[in-house]
Amino acid sequence: MTKKIKTSEILAAYNVLNTAKYGSMEDADKIKVWKITRALKPIATKFDEDSKDAAEKMKPKDKDFDEKYQKAQEYERMIHDPKADAKKLPMGAAEYDEFIKKVWQPYNKLVNDTIKEFAEKEVKVSFEPLNDDAFGKLMASNEWTMGQAVALSEIICEATESTEEEPKKDKKK
């Protein structure tokens, strides 16, 4: 089966499948899940590489950006740690706020806007889908949220068409 799927959906499915356990499944279905994971991996890997590349290329020209970013992270860690010594904060509150508002937030928005196009792009992926029984066994082997299970099933399971007929409307005059 070949499907067109958004890159962001592939990434989410790959991340779930990559850590999945196959315990309750039949061997043939375990192989199918492994092959599905392998089919999704190149797209997830490319998205990750593109995201890292965008983050690097979009960095502000400020030569101290990386150093200020590290200090801001350390500042955040320390202010949330009740045992941290406030006298050893790497920057002051005003400097932190200025960095976040004037440097970090605009940079982060630029990176997100840049990779959004990649995430929304539909990509063709070919794999043999799972049937409902095999997916049920895959779910039984893992502790996923209902949202994860539904999103994953929409991508990796056989499409089932509704066989119910729409109710007929009475035509009364």
Q: Where do the domains of the chain lie?
A: 2-156
- From first CA to last CA, the distance across the chain in angstroms is 49
Give the span between the Cα atoms of 99 and 74, in whole angstroms.
13
* Range with the poorest average pLDDT among 24-33, 57-66, 131-140, 162-171: 162-171
Which of 121-124's residues contact partners 24+ apart within 8 Å by CB, and which partners?
121/6, 121/7, 122/4, 122/5, 122/6, 122/7, 123/4, 123/5, 123/6, 123/7, 123/10, 123/43, 124/2, 124/3, 124/4
**pTM for this prediction:** 0.74
Question: pLDDT at position 86, please?
Answer: 82
Residue-wise pLDDT tens digits, 73-126: 999 999 998 888 888 999 999 999 999 999 999 999 999 999 998 999 999 999
Q: How far is CA 47 from the centre of its chain?
A: 10
